[in-house]
Amino acid sequence: MRDTSKNQGSKSAFTRRAFFKGSSAVAATAALQGQAALGEDDQGTQVVSGSQKITLQVNGEEHQVSVEPRDTLLDVLRYQLELTGAKPVSSDGSSGASTVMIDGKPMAASTMLAVACAGKEVVTVEGLVGDEVPAAFVEHDAQQCGFCTPGFVVAVRAFLNKNPDASREEIQAGLNGNICRCGTYANVVEAVVSLAKGGK
């Protein structure tokens, strides 16, 4: 039988033990450098935790609310201010049912953190009482179950504020962020066309 002990004792031999020792040293060094860099980047960042008081401007009125950093605007509107027009249909805002206006722009309240809305003007469907848009929806029978209607009404109001003379094609493109499971799109578009053409 052949003796291999001479080769194993060579100083230049590459062993698994040497490989793992070297790898561990490299990994430890990289981890320490990463922590140091992270610490430098985070020096100006403040982490907020726990409940805090903020002021929300909703439908022209100031409201003092207590919120957690994770609370969405939709949560605060529905469960603290009892404004239930905006609906919790999709957490990613893809349905458009939670649409509100924030500083005049249509936004999904389900994707906005309440703390980010402090100091901004929030308008919900409840703030559009007496507006011509809900009246046009009624006149053109633009709702069935009505679950999506508040989001559509707010989206239409925001759209018409910027596009008062919009064409039918522009209206269809402008409202493509709102979904109606009942399929009343045709009537919704007719309601908006009547307003864009200088309806009631």
102-147 pLDDT, tens per residue?
999 999 999 999 999 999 999 999 999 999 999 999 999 998 888 8
Are residue 96 and residue 113 in the same domain, yes or no? yes
Residue 6 in any domain: the answer is no
pLDDT of residue 12: 54
pLDDT of residue 92: 87
Judged against a pLDDT cut of 60, whether residue 4 lies above it is answered with no
Range in 32-36, 53-57, 75-79, 156-160 with the lowest mean pLDDT: 32-36
Are residue 139 and residue 166 in the same domain, yes or no? yes
| pTM across the whole model | 0.73
Residue 20 in any domain: the answer is no
Structural domain of residue 85, as residue ranges? 55-127
pLDDT of residue 200: 43
Of the pLDDT bands very low, low, confident and very high (cuts 50, 70, 90), residue 37 is low
pLDDT of residue 50: 80
Which residues does 156 contact at the CB level (< 8 Å), separation at least 6?
133, 175, 188, 191, 192, 195
Number of domains in the chain: 2
Q: State the Cα torsion 99-105-111-115 to the nearest 10°.
A: -120
Report the CATH number at residue 96.
3.10.20.30
> How many other C-beta atoms lie within 10 A of the C-beta of residue 198?
8
Cβ atoms of 89 and 78 closer than 8 Å: no
Judged against a pLDDT cut of 80, whether residue 33 lies above it is answered with no
pLDDT of residue 86: 95
Judged against a pLDDT cut of 80, whether residue 32 lies above it is answered with no
45 vs 193, higher pLDDT: 193
Select from 127, 154, 179 the last residue of a domain.
127
Are residue 70 and residue 121 in the same domain, yes or no? yes
